[in-house]
Amino acid sequence: MSRFNFTLSRLCGTVHTGGNLEYVDNNTLLSVVGNRITKLDLLTPSITTLPMESRTTIRHTSHSPSSPLLLTVDSTNHCMLINTSLNVCLHRMKFKNPVHHIAFSPSGSYFSVCTGRHLQVWLTPSLRRDFAPFVLHRTYTGHTDDVVHASWTVDDAFILTVSEDNTARVYMRDGEDGYVPRTLAGHRDGLVKGVWMEGQGALATISADGAWQSESYVLKQQSHGYQVNAMSYSPDGSNVATGGEDGKVKLWSGGSGFCFVTFAEHTAPVKDVHWTQKGVVITASLDGTVRCFDTCRYRNFRTLAAPTPMQFLSVGADSSGEIIAAGTADGFQVWDVYKNNNVETLIHQRDVLSLDYRGDGKEIVTATSGGSLYFWDLDSGEVSRVIDGGRDIMGGRKENDRMTASNNASSRHFTTVVYAKDGNHVLAGGNSKYICIYHVATGILVKKFVVSHNRSLDGTLDKLNSKFMGSAHGEVPPDEEERVGVGAVTNIPGAKRQDTGERKSRQEVRTLRVAFSPGGNEFCAVTTEGMLIYRLDEDLAFDPIALTEDVTPNAVNNCVSRGMYGQALIMALLLNETPLIAMVVDGTPNASIALVCRSVTQNHFVRFLHFLADKIADTPHIEFYLNWLQAFAKAHGKRIEKGGSKFVHAIRAVTKSVKTRENELKHCLADNVYTLEWTKTSLESALSKIEEANKV
């Protein structure tokens, strides 16, 4: 089962869906994507997605300036406290009133919550799990409308709040006797933000009656404007191509998760994408064209169309990439790419939702609307086995369903299916919140993944609240709860029918496309929320030393004195003190260098490589540190190569140091070579003279 322990690695195709952006440090940015948090490394660059999910779409976030704590609040006012260094959720709670803003104080000891017309200040919980972690310090009142933003002074003594009542107020955190909160008025519209001017004893407020347009960016990432429909891996598995409802085709880096090129030639939604072995991306669109894109020159070099206008829903190509077949609603067209002509038009009689060939080409699997997977033997043309997945994929009750989740199997079926690399398993997904992996020979369900727990999507809950269900309307969506309130009376005064004229639909959770990477260590699922990449945690290393408080310089010295050089090096890297790391490295015997290098975990690769780069650049003991570098490369070379962009800067630093020392020594060694050659010639001449003299 360990070979199927896939975990969510990153979410591509969607960069930001709302809420505020948070800087962890100068190089790390946190972005809200649905009910998940995505971490963007601006230095590498790369994207990772935190494993925990909120109940609904996240609206507000705040990161502590003094500890690895992150607060998130979703659209139903549920709060999560997350440890970003360990990627775990520590605590959860729910606020009684709608939350408009949340922020940590500069010291990280408090955090403020703008809830309704009040401001609440809470004590920051510790990093340990407590029985009652959230403690309310004080509630501040005075505004007559919703408080939308709060800002702290540097010393945590005063708090500035702004409200939709066109005023701002200054509160003292602990509230001394006789202090009256100051009210600042003068704006003609609701305020949106207020900040303290650091070091000037002044403050600034911003209202909604004006805008200052400016733009200066160092990073620009744009997701698909609408839903992602299709994806395809590159032959080497390093990149992914996606097509969306916005008519755009995007290429994403599999290592970093960043989009590096966008094609916008299509004028209608892109329904299918295929990446050939020769590096050509082929797309099928509802605009009636099939386009071929060159991934080296980033251009559309061929556009194919049918003799009569029709909309294309799928596309594929043979192994050489010369013959392309594109499917429509009632048939498919076949083209020769290099001759640029239509070869044949074929018609089929029934809808086939999805099919895939096994690696050896002797068997295919098809998905039907009945929820079953059919396996066909191509030699005999008969069905070799059938897997009934209707009960496995069923689950999740939609807003308008009149049957429970356990009785709606007829409406759930697989719409996409692919073989695993070994051909013994298949991966399938459809109009449900589940993705299933089956063993082909036995038909057993091996693993089932939940695409999303986001309650803002329709179909994620198995049971709905019957209080909000009836003949007139279904359950109130979470976003609607925030706007009108659950159970709010929406009847027009004097009207006998309940109809406000408002129309709002919810997106349904489903899987549009699944695919295994060529290496087999990850798979991708195109879902309602974007493109989810699941990866095997082959490089996940548990580091128990990092969880203790016993990591001190004295502990490092004790480990070195007892000959525990590997543990000493890990502890020194955790403390991130260069003299301490140098002491451990210099004290390690040559015979133990290879063993100590193997004990370094992947979390410390970058730090240790930068240390070696700095030492090689200015040390007289070049050979000693080059031996360390060689042993480290032998022990972890494959992992560094697989890591890709994560270690680029560290590898560049090491390469620069080695090249610099090589250039410095090159001239000196060249002079030494000439000196040695002259010495050799002189000695040979002197010896020849002595031999001649002896002969005489």
Give per-residue pLDDT as tens, 559-587.
889 888 888 898 888 888 888 999 999 99
Q: Where are the beta strands (DSSP E) in 268-404?
A: 270-275, 280-285, 289-294, 299-305, 314-317, 323-327, 331-336, 341-347, 354-357, 363-367, 372-377, 382-388
The answer to whether position 684 is within a domain reads no
Instruction: Compute the average pLDDT of residues 207-233.
Output: 71
Answer whether residue 566 is part of any domain: yes
Please indicate whether residue 330 or residue 238 has the higher confidence score (pLDDT).
238
Sequence-ordered alpha helix ranges (H) in 458-604: 478-484, 553-561, 565-575, 578-587, 593-598
Residues 343, 362, single domain; the answer is no
Sign of the CA dihedral running 81, 196, 183, 20: negative
Q: Into how many domains does the chain fold?
A: 4
Q: Answer yes or no: do 530 and 577 share one domain.
A: no
Domain that holds residue 603: 550-660
Residue 281 has a pLDDT of 94
CA separation for the pair 414, 47 (Å, rounded): 30
* pLDDT given for residue 474 in this prediction: 45
Alpha helices in 388-504 (DSSP H): 390-393, 478-484
Query: 544, 643, 512, 488: which is closest to 226 by C-alpha?
Result: 512
Q: CATH no. for residue 654?
A: 1.25.40
Q: Are residues 405 and 336 in the same domain?
A: no
Average pLDDT value for the chain: 82
Q: What's the CA gap between 647 and 638, in Å, rounded?
A: 12
Note whether 439 and 518 are same-domain residues: yes
Q: Read off the pLDDT of each residue in 377-401 and give the average, rounded to a whole number.
A: 82
Looking at the structure, tell me whether residues 250 and 319 fall in a common domain: yes
Residues 372 and 422 in one domain: yes
3-state secondary structure of 310: coil
Of residues 319, 216, 304, the one with CA closest to residue 265? 304
Question: Given pLDDT bands bounded at 50, 70 and 90, which one contains residue 555?
Answer: confident
Residue 261 structure tokens = 């090129």
Q: What is the pLDDT of residue 457?
A: 86
Whether the Cβ atoms of residue 75 and residue 86 lie closer than 8 Å to each other = no
What's the confidence (pLDDT) of residue 367? Answer: 84
pLDDT of 317 > 90? The answer is: no
pLDDT, position 427: 93
| Residues 229, 135 share a domain | no
**pLDDT at position 406:** 67
Band of pLDDT at residue 122, cut at 50, 70 and 90: very high
Angle of CA points 36, 8, 13, to nearest 5°: 65
- pLDDT, tens only, 251-272: 988 777 888 899 999 999 999 8
Q: For 584-599, what is the mean pLDDT?
A: 90
Residues 18 and 124 occupy one common structural domain: yes
Please tell me whether residues 41 and 13 are part of one structural domain.
Answer: yes
In the predicted model, what is the mean pLDDT of residues 403-430?
Answer: 82
Evaluate whether 147 touches 112 at the Cβ level (below 8 Å).
no
Residues 660-666, mean pLDDT to the nearest whole number: 84
pLDDT number for residue 117 = 92
Among 3-17, 262-276, 336-350, name the most confident range. Answer: 262-276
Percent of the chain whose pLDDT exceeds 90: 25
Question: Which of 217, 271, 221 minimizes the C-alpha distance to 244?
Answer: 271
Determine, yes or no, domain membership for 544: no
Q: pLDDT class for 543, splitting at 50, 70, 90?
A: low
Where residue 370 falls among pLDDT bands split at 50, 70, 90? confident
Give strand ranges (E) for 306-362: 314-317, 323-327, 331-336, 341-347, 354-357
**Do 367 and 451 sit in the same domain of this protein?**
yes
Q: Which residue has the higher pLDDT, 186 or 60?
A: 60
> Residue 207: left (phi > 0), alpha (psi -120 to 50), or beta?
beta
Same domain, 258 and 317: yes
